[in-house]
Structures are given as C-alpha cells and as structure tokens.
A and B are shown apart, each in its own frame.
Chain A
Amino acid sequence: KNEVEQSPQNLTAQEGEFITINCSYSVGISALHWLQQHPGGGIVSLFMLSSGKKKHGRLIATINIQEKHSSLHITASHPRDSAVYICAVDVTGTASKLTFGTGTRLQVTL
C-alpha cells in the first residue's frame, strides 16, 4: 500500500462544476503539498499546509491531521484547470523529502 493515496485517479467535469480531489496518507507528516502538473510536465506548487484550510483564488485546500486526510477543491471549474493534481507529504523527520501520490488527472470540458 502506498503511503499517499489519491482519489479519484481520473476525473472529468463540465465547466463550472465544483471539484473535489482527495488525499489520504498513512504516515506522520510535518506538511502536505498540493501540486499541479500541466500536460507539458511542468509542476507548480499550489499549497503547502500543516493544518486547517488555505484558499487561493478558486482553489481551496483543507487538511485534517487526526484523520490523515486532505482535500483540494476547485470552485467554478474551467478548462484551463485541466491538469494532473498531485498530493505530496513531508514525512516527519525526513528533511523535506517529499513522498508523492500518483496524481489525479482532471479534464474540464466546455
């Protein structure tokens, strides 16, 4: 079993829909990251959080440390949100060496 599990693996939504991507982990962490990988491969860091909730534009990330679970929400989705979203964790005591989920491929259609 992977230390970081994401669901769903693939997601298709229509423009305007509210989207949720989930991440569960089985190890102690100091922080959790949400990353966005575009079709060309480039990766952008969206959020780093260790508790509570963060919001940036139409993106919201939440984390529940007790339940070892995080969610990434996209409100009013748009085709330009189409990408692979990756959850990664800083495992406690590993000096910022990230452990990654396998990603959720999101396709937003018109």
Chain B
Amino acid sequence: SQTIHQWPATLVQPVGSPLSLECTVEGTSNPNLYWYRQAAGRGLQLLFYSVGIGQISSEVPQNLSASRPQDRQFILSSKKLLLSDSGFYLCAWSQTDGEAQHFGDGTRLSIL
C-alpha cells in the first residue's frame, strides 16, 4: 500500500534562517506531488506541484522553492525565512490528474 511521510512534524526557526522540509512517498511510482500551506485562520493554498522528476510548477510568488530530486521525494526550501512563512505545511500526492489526493501529517512551522 502507498504511504506518505513528511518531516519534521514541528519546527521552530529564527527569521533569516534556512528551511528544508522533506516529503517522501512509498508504494507508487511517478506520482503527482504537491506542497500546500495553511496560514493561521486561513484555508489551504497550493504552493508547488510536480508531475515528474525535476519538474516544478509554482503557484504563488514567495520566499520558498521546491525541488524533486527523486521520483518520490519532494523538498520545500527557503534560503532565508520570513515571519510570514509561519504556518502549517502539507505535502500530498495523487497517482494521476483527477484522482483523490493523499496528504501527509503536516509540518507546523513557527518563525520567531
């Protein structure tokens, strides 16, 4: 069966520090991968999605970047975190377009 792993679960970082959040999927190949953010009191927002290795589409201009170095690995990064980067970050995958997405447990990121 397929599983998705996302870590860390909680992260507290100072302003200006770098960020790396990792997401891996097991039990499937060539999945679509997604990074979402949920800011406090707001709905989920798609940040990045990828349909294959090295292919990244960005949905909103921001301080973050994403990479997909392997088929089932999706990384969210920042060189210098801002206070506005605080939020709950979720990784998700789907097998193909139009299929239900499966979510990781999320990372709660607090910027001090």
Chain A count of residues within 8 A CB distance of the other chain: 25
| Binary A-proximity of B82-108 (CB < 8 A = 1, otherwise 0) | 000000101010101111111111101
Residues in A whose Cβ lies below 8 Å from that of B49: 95-97
Q: Are A42 and B102 in contact (CB under 8 A)?
A: no
Cβ-closest chain B residue relative to A45: B100
Q: Are A100 and B59 in contact (CB under 8 A)?
A: no
Q: Which of B34, B44, B59, B92 has the most CB of A within 10 A?
A: B44
CB distance from B48 to the nearest CB of A (A): 10
Given A95-B51, A96-B97: A101 touches B43 (CB 8 Å cut-off): yes
**Which residue of the partner chain, among A42, A48, A86, A95, contacts B43 with CB atoms under 8 Å?**
A86
Q: Are B43 and A43 in contact (CB under 8 A)?
A: no
Residues in B whose Cβ lies below 8 Å from that of A96: 32, 49, 94, 96-99, 101
Is there a chain B Cβ closer than 8 Å to A27's Cβ? no
Is there a chain A Cβ closer than 8 Å to B45's Cβ? yes
Chain A residues with a Cβ under 8 A of chain B: 2, 4, 30-31, 33, 35, 40-45, 48, 86, 88, 90, 95-103
| Other contacts beyond A42-B105, A96-B98: 8, CB < 8 A | A30-B98, A41-B88, A41-B106, A42-B106, A43-B103, A45-B103, A88-B44, A100-B43
